[in-house]
Amino acid sequence: MIKHLFTPQAQDIHIVSGFEIKQKAKQYEDRGLKVIHLELGEPDFDTPENIVRAGMQAMEDGFTHYGPALGLPAFREIIAKYVSSYKNIQVDASNIVVTPGAKPILFYTILSLVNPGDEVIIPSPGFMIYEAMTRFVGGIPVPLPMTEESNFRFSLTDLEERLSSKTKLLILNSPQNPTGGVLTREDLEGVADLVRDRDLMILSDEIYDRMIYTEETPVSIASLPGMQEKTIILDGFSKTYAMTGWRLGYGVMSQEAAAIFNPLIVSSNSCTASFTQMAGIEALTGDQTAVTDMIQEFRKRRDVMIEGLNSITGIRCVQPSGAFYAFPNIGSFGLSSQEMTDYLLDEAQVATLPGSTFGEHGEGYIRLSYANSVENLQEALNRIETAVRKL
């Protein structure tokens, strides 16, 4: 027995991911049944061909060695140009930190900012890694309710009540996982007014900011007066370019913050795979048709999904404005979200995630990812309708 040798914090990390449910679903698949997978948070599209080719070419060209910890200079430059124009902030290569996937930006931010006892305000429901990593370093997660009544945004009053002298970090995520909610410019201006003069940092998780189904372009809090220095933006290629397995993400931050991240990266990943970064250059500078097509397809699927869910007696679902998740309210059935997820898998072979895994305010909901074909979504909706009618 060696488990006791590990720290309590390490032993306590518990993350329910789509992969666990996928594993559970396998028992049905092994029996020859078709499971419809709506539990995973990744696009079902392949990485666009031009990007794959650029990655392969880079390997052939010898981009298979260590590179600079913060990323290849040419790539950081291109990201900076993209960020400056899409997010409407002025940055250069020195503000860009390239990482293997976007998650390390979250990890390094929390590791380098949060002392034991510091408070971190996190969206609830929200991406479960925020809470897990905060607890891991001894920080105190303070859930900020994202309410269905406000299309899964939060109220400024709720935020103000949660700000304290111990608040070190405020995490924002828009468009949001798991609800698809999008914060408005007014929301963010209100946040900026509340925190501008406070001694805290913001982590703005913008990984879904190209997956947006409203006419307005998303706003980054970093673009508001006085906020750029206080903000670390997390973004990456996993979702927008269907590159989850390549592991390619980045942070946008002040030079001061980048200098803090540098030794952490040297000590952990060393750097991000060089050929992956070359593929990233092609992703940002090459033809964007595949992205536009993918987003159009997601929009179509969203409409099928939300209309279908709302036509099922007992289910209610707000229209998400971004990302690729639906977060319906299933409270009328008298089951917990975990029980409903188990029931849908056992009874209908539809794999979903319980809202409770996204924090205390996620109870009463389930998350369905619509990264699946329209045909499969329609079949899933039919199966769900038949299953919940029996309850």
Ligand X SMILES: Cc1ncc(COP(=O)(O)O)c(C=O)c1O
Number of residues written out for the chain: 391
Q: How far is the CB of 114 from ligand X (least distance, A)?
A: 17
Cβ-based nearer residue to ligand X, 75 or 343: 75
Distance between CA atoms of residues 47 and 283, nearest Å = 10
- Concatenate the DSSP letters of all residues of 1-36 into one string: --GGGS-HHHHH-----HHHHHHHHHHHHHTTPPPE
Cβ-based nearer residue to ligand X, 71 or 101: 101
Cβ-based nearer residue to ligand X, 331 or 362: 362
Cβ-based nearer residue to ligand X, 143 or 331: 143
Q: How far is the CB of 159 from ligand X (least distance, A)?
A: 19
Specify whether the CB–CB gap between 108 and 265 falls below 8 A. yes
Distance between CA atoms of residues 379 and 180, nearest Å = 22
Q: How far is the CB of 246 from ligand X (least distance, A)?
A: 9
Q: How far is the CB of 66 from ligand X (least distance, A)?
A: 21
Cβ-based nearer residue to ligand X, 47 or 173: 173
Q: Max alpha carbon distance in the chain (Å)?
A: 60
Q: Which residues of 186-201 are buried (b: 16+ CB within 10 A; e: fewer)?
A: ebbbbbbeebeeeebb
Question: Would you tell me how many other CB atoms lie within 10 Å of the CB of residue 90?
Answer: 10
Secondary-structure percent of the chain, ordered helix, strand, coil, rounded to 5: 45, 15, 40
Q: How far is the CB of 250 from ligand X (least distance, A)?
A: 9
Distance between CA atoms of residues 224 and 87, nearest Å = 11
Cα angle vertex 189, ends 183, 191, to 5°?
Answer: 75
Which residue's CB atom is positioned nearest to ligand X?
101
Cβ-based nearer residue to ligand X, 213 or 343: 213
Cβ-based nearer residue to ligand X, 76 or 367: 367
Q: How far is the CB of 347 from ligand X (least distance, A)?
A: 27
Cβ-based nearer residue to ligand X, 327 or 343: 327
- Token couple for 249: 């993400």
Kind and range of the H or E element at 248? none
Kind and range of the H or E element at 322? none
Cβ-based nearer residue to ligand X, 42 or 303: 42
Q: In angstroms, what CA-CA distances link 102 with 252, 256, 337?
A: 11, 19, 28
Reduced 3-state DSSP string for 254-270: CHHHHHHHHHHHHHCCC
Q: How far is the CB of 313 from ligand X (least distance, A)?
A: 31
Q: How far is the CB of 218 from ligand X (least distance, A)?
A: 14
- Concatenate the DSSP letters of all residues of 34-81 into one string: PPEE----S-SSPPPHHHHHHHHHHHHTT--S---TT--HHHHHHHHH
Cβ-based nearer residue to ligand X, 86 or 107: 107
Q: Which residues bind ligand X (CB under 6 A)?
A: 41, 101-103, 127, 173, 177, 205, 207, 236, 238, 244, 249
Q: How far is the CB of 391 from ligand X (least distance, A)?
A: 30
Q: How far is the CB of 390 from ligand X (least distance, A)?
A: 33
Distance between CA atoms of residues 119 and 135, nearest Å = 10
